[in-house]
Amino acid sequence: MQRRKIGFLIIALLVVLYPLVIGDSYKVYIMNRSLIHAIIAMGLVTQVGFAGQISLGHAAFYGIGAYTTSLTVLKLGFPIGLGFLAAILMCVIFSVFLSVPSFKLSGFFLSLTTIAFGHIVWVIIVNWQSLTNGPLGVFGIPGLKLFGIKFNNTHYYYLLVATIALLYLFIKRITNSFIGRAFMAMRDDELAAECSGINTRNFKLLAFGISAGFAGLAGAFYAHLSGFISPESFVFAESTKFVGMAVTGGLRHLLGGIIGAPIVTFLPELFRFPGWETYYMMAATFIILMIVVFMPDGLAPLFEKGFNKIFGERDDVKGGSSE
């Protein structure tokens, strides 16, 4: 037991010390981007991995969140905190629309509706120029401030780490409750779940709502972190990237999103060698492809095994209490 505690302590220390040791705002910035992606991927793990409802349109929620907070803050003069809330709320409302098809459809058909949803939202963002400023994007989005101090990358980093810790606890609580069991029952056999008295509609709504809310929160973070948003950041390719992160990390593992997002975000950055302007993307996507094909359970179980091997008992296999 003692050794496990040491293990957690080491990981916590690494997480806390990262920006202080790196001290380089570019690498901290990329880490912030990966943490933002991790929020979305965590939502996807809940929705796709646990509840079995596939979504290939999450860039739309990411975009709705980003646009809601920036427009409410810039045009309506909301305080930023309220903008964040509005972003989450807006995404949850939109998730209701998207979950309606899921009452009837599943698997591939559902993925096609979510793709359609993503495209529809994108076209509207591009063309509703009076509201969204169209392809020109929204700029001058204010950054976060606390006690008069403007947030720098390191501040954002700690805020994001704290947020992710809270979201992790939230998801863990949910998956260990009757909701989580209902999700998994629904994922494994919808008919059987319904027969045992589970109202699958409500649980689908809930699953979509949670992950849409997460994506909205991530979008809000992105808008305020980067100060500029435009429709190019919310295209279909982004949606596939988010799902890729969840799968690389481990779709059925609580830590999946948290581990997958930084890997997928950092990989292309690692391959930016001189002369590799076109090769780097191929190399990065090749590694992700290999992980997805040869390790469909993702890297999180591997991480957990490694952790258990170094810091103690093997018997505690039940998913990731490691942060």
Which residues in the 216-275 window bind another protein by CB under 8 A?
A: 226-228, 230-233, 236-237, 240, 243-244, 247, 251, 269-275
- Among residues 14, 76, 129, 131, the one that binds another protein under rule CB under 8 A: 129
Pick the closer one to another protein by CB: 83 or 298. Answer: 298
Determine if 189 is a binding residue for another protein (CB under 8 A): no
Pick the closer one to another protein by CB: 162 or 317. Answer: 317
Determine if 144 is a binding residue for another protein (CB under 8 A): no
Residues with Cβ within 8 Å of residue 200, at least 6 apart in sequence: 103, 186, 190, 193, 194
The one segment of 156-164, 174-182, 209-217, 290-298 that binds another protein by CB under 8 A: 290-298
- Among residues 4, 194, 287, 308, the one that binds another protein under rule CB under 8 A: 287
- Among residues 1, 2, 21, 294, the one that binds another protein under rule CB under 8 A: 294
The one segment of 27-35, 75-83, 86-94, 167-175 that binds another protein by CB under 8 A: 27-35
Secondary structure of residue 163 in the 3-state scheme = helix
- Among residues 169, 177, 199, 279, the one that binds another protein under rule CB under 8 A: 279
CB of residue 27 to another protein, shortest distance in Å = 7
The one segment of 1-9, 97-105, 156-164, 206-214 that binds another protein by CB under 8 A: 97-105
If phi over 0 gives left and psi between -120 and 50 gives alpha, with beta otherwise, what is residue 106? beta
Determine if 137 is a binding residue for another protein (CB under 8 A): yes
- For 54-77, give the DSSP string: --S-HHHHHHHHHHHHHHHHHHS-
Pick the closer one to another protein by CB: 163 or 226. Answer: 226
Number of residues in contact with another protein, rule: CB under 8 A? 79
Determine if 147 is a binding residue for another protein (CB under 8 A): no
Determine if 7 is a binding residue for another protein (CB under 8 A): no
What's the one-letter identity of residue 127? N
From CA 265, how far away is CA 262, in angstroms rounded?
5
Residues with Cβ within 8 Å of residue 143, at least 6 apart in sequence: 150, 151, 224, 225, 227
Query: Buried (b) or exposed (e) across 148-173, using 16+ Cβ within 10 A?
Result: eeebebbbbbebbbebbeebbeebbe
Please, are residues 90 and 68 in contact by the beta-carbon 8 Å criterion? yes
- Among residues 6, 166, 192, 290, the one that binds another protein under rule CB under 8 A: 290
Determine if 79 is a binding residue for another protein (CB under 8 A): no
CA angle 239, 193, 54 (to 5 degrees): 5
- Among residues 104, 130, 146, 149, the one that binds another protein under rule CB under 8 A: 104
Please, are residues 170 and 254 in contact by the beta-carbon 8 Å criterion? no
Kindly list the distances between the CA atom of residue 36 and the CA atoms of 31, 159, 164, 166, 258, in Å, as whole numbers in the listed order. 9, 11, 9, 14, 10
